[in-house]
Amino acid sequence: MMRGKIFILLIFLLAFFLSGFGLVYRYTQTNEVIGFWGPTGSQSISSPDRVELCALTPRNDQSVDESGDPDILIEGRRYAIVSRKDVTKAPGFNNASGALILNRNYDWRPRVENPDCRPAWKHALIYRHGENRTVVAISVSCGWVYSQATHRVAGLNKSVTEGLARLFQEQLGS
């Protein structure tokens, strides 16, 4: 009779330990990402209702926006959306979104690691989750992303950057 209670207690303790381990593991995989994108931005990226891929061009002060789309502000400079495409169900974008919420896919100090790179912000992914809107501006040339929530730049690892470049080429032809 006593052995059964001990066995049940051991199973309970093992389950408690493994759930704690799972929480710690998930925290270590995402804590810096949440700090970079912000809590609502991270949620929008991890479980979006809609994802749009946009081609961007720098806006000069004289140009007029006739499309009605709001400009995207990246490092203090305004960018106009030249074209956009709904890629919510497009192949590869679920994987791309998953890659954007894992710490291991980032270099958190890209300007130190690659100080000579001049980013060309030509693409953005706009994630919507409910009322939340998160813009992920991407410079494929440098392999960098920009967070409007924190006004920070981070580098992406090479395989994620190459994957995004292929997806952009397939969807926009650019």
DSSP letter at 104 equals G
Question: By C-alpha distance, which of 91, 88, 96 is closest to 48?
Answer: 88
Query: pLDDT tens across 5-48, in order?
Result: 888 888 888 898 888 888 777 676 667 888 999 999 999 998 99
Average pLDDT over residues 121-147: 94
Query: How far from the centroid of its chain's Cα atoms is residue 71's Cα?
Result: 19
Query: How far from the centroid of its chain's Cα atoms is residue 50's Cα?
Result: 14
What are the Cα distances from residue 33, in Å, to 38, 46, 122, 126, 137? 8, 11, 22, 17, 15
Token match 């309970």: residue? Answer: 12
Cβ distance 72 to 79 under 8 Å?
yes
Against a cut of 0.85, is the pTM above it? no
Residue 161 has pLDDT above 90, yes or no: yes
Residue 1: per-residue pLDDT: 61
More confident residue, 115 or 156: 156
Query: pLDDT tens across 83-117, in order?
Result: 999 999 998 888 889 899 888 899 888 887 788 88
Query: How far from the centroid of its chain's Cα atoms is residue 106's Cα?
Result: 10
Token pair of 57 as six digits? 């061009």
Residue 174: per-residue pLDDT: 58
Residue 67: per-residue pLDDT: 52
